[in-house]
Structure formats: structure tokens, C-alpha cells
Structure 1
Amino acid sequence: MDSVYAPPGHLTTRQVAQLLDIAPDSVRQLVRRGQLTRSGGSPRHPWFAARDVAALHATRRTHAAA
């Protein structure tokens, strides 16, 4: 289970999954593929920079619309 708390400007795996409308395991796959980078936390409970998630979300919406 993800940590409930992330520092300001960061999101947990669960929060990223909810924002991108994907499963938490899919977030891990994005990290493995180099499409998203961890910005802190621990190996089991990483944090992701909100700006990186927003950029990824915008990219995914652009590709889906094309």
C-alpha cells in the first residue's frame, strides 16, 4: 500500500494512477519504461513530482486525441 502522505508538489503511486485513470501497476510500468521518474520516497512507496505527472498526462491526452 502506498504511503498516504507525500510532500507538497508530489504524488503517491495511487494518486498518479487515479489521475491518469490507470492501475497502480501501470504506473510502475511507466517508471520501468522511463516515461515517469521517481522523485523521492522509498523503493516501496515512491513519490512523483506533480509537474512530471501533469506533463505525462498532457502527452497522453495529445496522443489519444490524434
Structure 2
Amino acid sequence: MESQIIRPGHLTAHQTARVLGISLDGVRKAVQRGQLARSGGTERQPWYPAEQVAALAAKKHARSVA
């Protein structure tokens, strides 16, 4: 799944799920909630901006610590 060539600064759905500690379904739900936006790829293999994923991961971590 991760074999496609991806632009620098972007993550695949699998990488995004791994960084956020959620499932692929969780990634889809984050997109539906407007917490995450696709930035390229294809319908079946979307990319997400690494900066946005990192910000969401930091926000998630801050909520779990608080």
C-alpha cells in the first residue's frame, strides 16, 4: 500500500494512522469532521500534509496528558 511515490511533506493514510495512533477508519472520520484535509494522492490512496498530521497528533497528545 505504501509503495506509491509521495511528495515530500505528505503522508499516506497508513502513515497518518500510525502517527496518530488510530485506524484507517479513524483517519476517514478525522477528514469527515474537518480535523484533517487530503492534500493529494488518489481517491483510494490519499495523502495528508505532514504538518497538519503533526499538529493533530500534538493536539491529541495534549488532550491525553491534561
- Identify whether the pair has TM-score above 0.5, normalized to the shorter chain: yes
- The TM-score with structure 2 as length reference comes to 0.89
Q: Residue 2 and residue 33 in structure 1: after superposition, are their counterparts in 2 closer, same or farther (change >3 A)?
A: farther
1:11-62 deviation per Cα after TM superposition (whole angstroms, max 9, x unaligned) = 0000001111111111011001100011111111110010000000000011
Find the counterpart in structure 2 of residue 18 from structure 1: 18
Letter in 2 for 1:54: A
Q: Please tell me the root mean square deviation across aligned C-alpha atoms, in Å.
A: 1.4
* In 2, Cα distance between equivalents of 1:56 and 1:7: 20
How many aligned residue pairs are there? 66
Name the SS for the 1:47 alignment partner: strand
Instruction: Note the residue ranges of structure 1 that are not aligned, 5 or more in a row.
Output: none
- The TM-score with structure 1 as length reference comes to 0.89
- 1:27 and 2:27 equivalent? yes
Instruction: Note the residue ranges of structure 2 that are not aligned, 5 or more in a row.
Output: none
Letter in 1 for 2:38: R
